[in-house]
Amino acid sequence: MKKDLRVILSGGGTGGHIYPAIAIAHEIKTRYPEAEILFVGASDRMEMEKVPQAGYKIEGLWISGIQRKLTMSNLMFPFKLLSSLAKSRRIIREFKPDVVIGTGGFASGPLLKVANSNGIPTLIQEQNSFPGITNKLLAKQADKICAAYEEVKRFFPAEKTVITGNPVRQDLLKIDENREKALAHFGLEKDKKVVLVLGGSLGARRINQLVEANLERFKEENIQLIWQTGKLYFEEYKKYNSGLVQTHLFLNEMNLAYGAADVIISRAGAGTVSELSIVGKPVLFVPSPNVAEDHQAKNAMAVVKKNAAMMLKENELDEKFETEFFALMASEEKQEELGENIKKLALPNATARIVDEVEKLIKK
């Protein structure tokens, strides 16, 4: 393998596209410390902050998605696309990559399109069980597609698609060994069940409302809560902080939060579902209804179909949550069954397997 390896990674808009790209970059750097790595993102999205924080250079494209209604942004889309294609041509001409990797999001569209037309090998990584529009459009010309779910094979050319899983944090592989450390970290009692509530870094209004409405029942059942309210809602819910209830704006020590939990209530973003498969604890998914193409419900359903988790949509919570969730809390047998089944879906070596595929492309 050439020592002066040059790689462009493109993906962003959400953490679900950015963090896999950063994990892939880290793995490439581990194997090839001399490699030159450049990220390309959308100039007004979170990747412009997160990628430099991770230690990589990034260039921004003037690009955004198409809204479902007529907006000024939609009217500007053709101009943004032409601008992004022109800048992508310049980036590829000047950087001269050996391979270009896309992890989804609008910025990866123009960049991989230009790479393909210049004969540069491309790989796309699809996190969801139902692919996004950008990756669907890029799949025909991509040299390799690394996916997390068997379900996506019906959307992509079978001969180019390999199931690798999604890149996840490696510190999750040993959470069972950290149980006592985790309980001590959060100041929790060993003889009481622990429920971990996750709504993402910003928070999930409906999940927070659900927890608030059931606080008395949690107390009656002597259940301890680690409740990540998220940035948008912490001020509203921090008043509930007490012996049994811990409210957190954000959880920095996710491995310890997972280690302490007996049962988890969570959104169903692709990266989260992959992490929870490795964690191997019983999960109730409450998918966000506010994401493109209902991705989260489809991700959760792929797990639920294998009897590896429970799912309630937001519009079912009032009617079903109390009955179904507290029945799960009362059944050690059901908790064990879901935990064992979700662990069978784990693909802990995803990042390494994706970079193995990158290496094959370069060797060609």
Say if residue 351 carries a ligand binding annotation.
Answer: no
Say if residue 134 carries a ligand binding annotation.
Answer: no
Residues 6+ apart with CB under 8 A from 64: 42, 44, 73, 77, 80, 106
Query: Which of 308, 191, 190, 198 is CA-nearest to residue 257?
Result: 198
Say if residue 169 carries a ligand binding annotation.
Answer: yes
Residues 6+ apart with CB under 8 A from 116: 122, 138, 141, 142
- Spatial contact of 295 and 270, defined as CB atoms under 8 Å apart: yes
Q: How far apart are CA 264 and CA 136, in angstroms?
A: 32
Q: How far apart are CA 112 and CA 130, in angstroms?
A: 20
Say if residue 296 carries a ligand binding annotation.
Answer: yes
Burial of 142 (0-12, 13-18, 19+ CB in 10 A): buried
- Spatial contact of 12 and 42, defined as CB atoms under 8 Å apart: yes
Residue for token pair 């659900």: 210
Say if residue 201 carries a ligand binding annotation.
Answer: yes
Binding region for UDP-N-acetyl-alpha-D-glucosamine: 14-16, 128, 169, 201, 296
Q: Could you list the residues known to form a binding site, using ranges.
A: 14-16, 128, 169, 201, 296
